[in-house]
Amino acid sequence: MANLKTAEKKTKAQSMGMHTEVLTGKTQQKFFNPDEAENFFYWGTHNVDFNKRTELDVKDLDCKQANEKIDILMSEGYGTIVIKNPQGKHSLGVGILNKLNLIFEGSLGYFGVGSIDGPIVTVKGRVGWSCAENMMAGKVVIEKNAGSCFGAAIRGGDLICKGSVGARTGIDQKGGSIIIGGDAGAFTGFMMQRGRIVILGDVGINLGDSMYDGTIYVGGKIGSFGSDAVEAPMTKNDIDWLTRKLKVAEIGNNVDLSKMTKVVAGKKLWNYDALEPTEKKGAI
């Protein structure tokens, strides 16, 4: 196999085996051979040291300048970066693909920490629309409220908001966990495909509308169920999982988990439901 660091762009995918399709009744892609790990290069990642800490004041920087500064700091090995004065700027902390302890001392605007894969993020303020969109892995904790489309299309990781969130939380969610300490708006879990959403407070109308799969837990009142969303019985596994996750999220200590409402997809999706769990992962 060619060295991916030096390979031509058009041959990289072939070299990684990503062009190969394996037919097992359903179509799956073969993504990566672990035996060739030494050749694997995850572009844009840095080796950082959590004990190496620095601060970055972004008051007079635009989002592009701020993100470039963060990237430079990571390339210098800083593993704990404290962002001062974010002041609601958009698109801060996006596209971070390595482990990092990233702390925002203030609020973010739209699309904050989107498309991340691994960092632990703390926002000591509020976030605007589409926070952590397309998140792959890591943990994001919002200390205050969040706007709409919170965790849109996330595929993994834990996304936690200790306050309330807007409409369409977890829209198109494909994995991971979204945990809300307060209330959530309309169309929460809209077209959700996998993963879990936990709302300790109330939730608005059309909960889980058009959801394929996944699970939503609600502690408070539900405005209405969306099309395809139905209530399911809480099991011991659900309570065990909620206990573990809420402990990680550091919220919901006083919630009676057995009284939460569990919501799942009630619609039969013929081809999708016939897939094995591992095949579903490839399909979405």
**Binding stretches for other proteins (CB under 8 A):** 87-90, 105-107, 109-110, 125-126, 128-129, 144-148, 163-168, 183, 185-187, 204-205
Nearest to other proteins of 78, 111 (CB atom):
111
Nearest to other proteins of 164, 173 (CB atom):
164
Least CB distance from residue 106 to other proteins, whole Å?
5
3 state SS of 139: strand
Least CB distance from residue 145 to other proteins, whole Å?
4
Nearest to other proteins of 131, 153 (CB atom):
131
Burial of 197 per CB tally in 10 Å (0-12, 13-18, 19+): buried
Least CB distance from residue 97 to other proteins, whole Å?
26
Nearest to other proteins of 15, 85 (CB atom):
85
Q: What phi and psi values does residue 55 have, to the nearest 5 degrees? A: -120, 150
Burial of 279 per CB tally in 10 Å (0-12, 13-18, 19+): middle
Least CB distance from residue 129 to other proteins, whole Å?
6
What is the distance between the alpha carbons of residues 250 and 105, in angstroms, rounded to a whole number?
A: 19
Least CB distance from residue 147 to other proteins, whole Å?
5
- CA nearest to 133, candidates 176, 182, 73: 176
Is the CB of residue 193 less than 8 Å from the CB of residue 173? Answer: yes
H helix or E strand, kind and range, residue 69 = helix 63-75
Residue 34: CB partners within 8 Å, gap ≥ 6? none
Nearest to other proteins of 125, 156 (CB atom):
125
Least CB distance from residue 194 to other proteins, whole Å?
24
Nearest to other proteins of 146, 257 (CB atom):
146
What is the distance between the alpha carbons of residues 206 and 225, in angstroms, rounded to a whole number?
A: 5
